[in-house]
Chains A and B, each alone.
Chain A
Amino acid sequence: MNHIPMRMHAPAIRPQKMTRRALAKQQTREKVLQAARDLFIERGYEGATIRDIARAAGMSTGAVFASFADKNELFDAILNDDFAELAEPMRDAITGAVTARDALVGMFGAAYRAHSSQLPLIQAALAASWTRTPEAERLRRESMRPIRSLVSDVLDRAVERGELNQRFDLRLIAEMIWDMFLAGYRPAAFDGLSVENQTEKLAERIDVILSAIKA
């Protein structure tokens, strides 16, 4: 069995040289994001106003609105960043996994672990995500694409190895597994499951799906 480390496919990102103005803008944006993140964690989404966030970031409300149209957009930006940052730990978890199950459970477990310290924030964001605009949803899908595609990669390789049956609709399966992953944030909210329990529960559901398509 030959495993090509996924990392090799990752594009090398070289930050371009920025003008001073663009740099200042980005710094403002990051300051706002950090202040918002802290306040959302502390007070929840409803409890943090744009005014509070501006104050905590040490700037005017107008300066916040120059970077973000409204609180929703700010919140989405935080969530999208948090999911984008999962790419690395998830890829790492896949490297070395022998079976599709190990790879999937490993990468999603890594994601749950990475999010465990700010679970309420992620949950609030997921709750909000059900009632967003199509444009916000498009942006979210865009930000999740790199990690979403990891699921398909794992399944594809398992089919190549002859571990999974190729006569099934892999796209449907990849989407189901992805949904199970996101659904896994919910019982944690309700039952206060630990990261291990959360991952274990997801693993069981993944088994239900994989047992259907075993070669």
Chain B
Amino acid sequence: MGVRETQKLETRRKVLESARDLFNEIGYEETTIRAVAERAGVSVGSVFTTFASKAEVLSQVMDDRVEALQVELERVAKHMRGSTLDRLCSLFAIHYDFECRRVRLFLAHIAASYSPSLDGGTVPYGRNAQFRTMILDMLAEGVERGEVCKNADLELTLDTLMAAYAWNYRLAACDGADHAALTSIMDRQIRLIFSGLEPR
């Protein structure tokens, strides 16, 4: 890799790290690209040569986090035992635990997915293919094991679970609920949804 390429990657890394911290510390709305550049020790112009907008920076920050979470999930997934229901509960619990470490960042991520002017270059909440596949696989396995009704619409179940998962963060946004509180309400919701999926 040439010196220029290395420098470019280094700028990118610094920008993403600064943005991640600022979004979480002072909030997405309040964070300006200038503040990000300042913290990263780069020029405003160089931020804009890498990213088209603040929304794109946020999207990239979240994308990078997904990789870290994915590593964590794969490590744990091997050891997951029990029913499909139990494993789904664990899966969402891991998500809450992970995202609550930087909860304002994640709130900004959910918020962005409601924005009427979503940038083409962003991956809004709920569109991450890896997560969707992981949960769909779990549900499909549940069908094989005879724990989930074979007529169940798995995509729809997934969407319902994902919506419930996201909106529980509401409690973190306004009541300061922590990951344990969010996990416990999600457990109840998964249980409820599952009671409608039982094979008949």
Judge: A and B partners, yes or no: yes
Mostly helix, strand, loop or mixed at chain A's interface? helix
Q: How far is the CA of A213 from the CA of B197 in the complex (A)?
A: 11
| Complex interface: chain A residues within 8 A of B124 (CB) | 190
Question: How many Cβ-Cβ contacts under 8 Å join chain A to chain B?
Answer: 109
Contact between B115 and A209, CB atoms less than 8 A apart: no
In the assembled complex, the CB of B153 is this many whole angstroms from the nearest CB of chain A, namely 8
* SS class, residues of chain B in contact with chain A: helix
CB atoms of B115 and A127 under 8 A apart = yes
- Smallest Cβ-Cβ distance to A140: which chain B residue: B174
Complex: A205 Cα to B161 Cα, angstroms: 10
Please give the number of chain B residues whose Cβ is less than 8 angstroms from any Cβ of chain A in the complex: 41
- A179-B167, A212-B192 are known contacts. Are A123 and B115 too (CB-CB below 8 A)? yes
B189 on the interface (CB 8 Å rule)?
yes
Complex formed: what's the CA distance from A121 to B108 in Å? 18
A123 touching B116, Cβ below 8 Å: yes
Question: B160–A205 contact, CB under 8 A?
Answer: yes
- Quick one: which of B29, B167, B189 contacts A131, CB cutoff 8 A? B29
> Are A179 and B107 within 8 A (Cβ)?
no
Q: How far is the CA of A19 from the CA of B183 in the complex (A)?
A: 52
Name the CB-closest residue of A to B104. Answer: A131
Q: How large is the interface on A (under 10, 10 to 19, 20 to 34, 35 or more residues)?
A: 35 or more
* Docked-complex contact A120 and B116, CB < 8 angstroms: yes
Query: A124 in the interface, Cβ–Cβ < 8 Å?
Result: yes
Contact with A along B62-102 (1 / 0, CB 8 A): 00000000000000000000000000000000000000000
CB distance A209 to B174 under 8 Å?
no
Q: Does B34 contact A (CB under 8 A)?
A: no
Whether B60 is near chain A, meaning CB under 8 Å from some CB there, is: no
Pick from B28, B114, B174: contact of A189, CB under 8 Å: B114
Q: Is A176 an interface residue (CB 8 A)?
A: yes
> Which of B28, B169, B188 is A169 in contact with, Cβ under 8 Å?
B188
